[in-house]
Chain A
Amino acid sequence: MTDAMILVGALRDPDSAQNLAAEQWTALLTIARAEQLIGTLAFRLEGQAVPDGVKAILTDARLNAEVQRRTALWEADCARRALAEYDGKVVLMKGTAYVASDLRAGQGRSIGDLDIMVAQPDLPTVEAMLLAAGWEWVKQDAYDDAYYRDHMHELPPMIHRERDRMIDVHHTILPLTARPRPDAAAMMADAVPLPLAGGVRGGPEKIVGSLPFESDPPPTPPVSGRGEVFVFSPEDMVCHCAAHLFADGDLAGGLRNLWDFHCLTQEFTASDPGFRTRLSQRAEHHGLTAAVERAQRLADHLYVSGCDQITLTDRLFIRRLTARNGYGQQTRRFIRLAFYIRSHALRMPPMMLARHLWTKWRKGHQPKV
Chain B
Amino acid sequence: MNFLRQQFPLLIALVTGLVMIAQYYIAGEYSRDLGGKAADAYIIIQGIVIYLGIFSLLHSHIGKVTRLEAGWGYSIFMFLGIVLMLVAGFWSGGRLDEGTPYKWLYDNTIVPLSATLFSILAFFIASAAFRAFRARSVDATLLLTAAVIIMFCRVPWGEYLAGLISEEGGPAATRAIARWILEVPNVAATRGIILGVALGIVATSMKIIFGIERGYLGED
Partners in one complex: no
A→B interface (CB under 8 Å): none
B→A interface (CB under 8 Å): none
